[in-house]
Amino acid sequence: MPTPLTIRGFKVYQGLVDSQSQEVLVSNLREVAKAAPFFHPVTPSGKSMSVRMTSAGRLGWVTDQSGYRYQATHPDGAGWPAIPDIARDIWARVSGVTREPDCCLINYYDETARMGMHQDKGEGSFDWPVVSISLGDEALFRMGNVARGGKTESLWLRSGDVVVMGGEARLAHHGVDRIRFGSSRLLPKWGRINLTLRVVDQG
């Protein structure tokens, strides 16, 4: 296991996922998307997000005008497919916990997609880390503070990089400022796929 680069409590395992595993994982995600197609989520304020998303696992993350939440079904009513084994293996290697993830949120970024600074705080308990896997084009990842605002630091994430957000970084604001479109040949039409694995304790 390589030593992670630690920035503001974010642990970044650069190049953790080898090229063959990346290709297998992308093939797995195509099967996930057949069962649970990507969709453009809408925020409670009615704004369409620039990423497309789907999920795998016992629960999936959704947002619409009813609010942000985890639920057991895709917006079309079907259940979510299983989390790919490679993603579960990565969780087991880096998360530091024995519990399995409940949700694998899958975001697709095209050339214009962004993700504003936000916290992952809908999981019910913040004792569990969030594990993020980058596939495809490079993304400029911004890391901030628990309180909104203040100084931030940024790092280009490349295909195969894995970020663990736990401890002091678990509730830190973070986001994606831009995509270096066409920087990876992993996806035939370019773009970036980001997987985030989470434990969801529902009250």
Whether 43 contacts 69, CB under 8 Å: no
Q: Strand pairing of 10-13 and 162-165?
A: antiparallel
CB 157 within 8 A of CB 184: no
Structure-block tokens of residue 141: 């990842």
Predicted local distance difference test score (pLDDT) of residue 43: 87
Q: Where are the domains of the chain?
A: 5-198
Structure tokens at 143: 């890391």
Please state, in angstroms and as integers, the Cα–Cα distance from residue 179 to each residue in 28, 82, 83, 107, 194, following that order.
23, 28, 25, 13, 12
Give the pLDDT confidence score for residue 163 in this predicted structure.
Answer: 98
The pTM score is 0.96
Residue 174 corresponds to which amino acid?
A: H
pLDDT of residue 76: 94
User: Cβ distance 31 to 90 under 8 Å?
Assistant: no
Helix (H/G/I), strand (E/B), else coil: 79: strand
Q: Give the pLDDT score at 201.
A: 84
Residue 60's closest CA among 77, 42, 44, 48? 77
As averages over each run of 10 residues, the pLDDT of the chain (203 residues) reads: 93 98 98 97 90 97 91 96 98 97 98 94 94 98 96 98 97 97 96 98 68
The superfamily CATH assigns to domain 5-198 is Alpha-ketoglutarate-dependent dioxygenase AlkB-like (2.60.120.590)
Contacts of 138 (CB under 8 A, 6+ apart): 156, 157, 158, 159, 179, 180, 183, 184, 192
The pLDDT of residue 202: 67
Per-residue pLDDT at 203: 52
- Looking at residue 14, its amino acid is Q
- Alpha carbon 169 to chain centroid, angstroms: 15
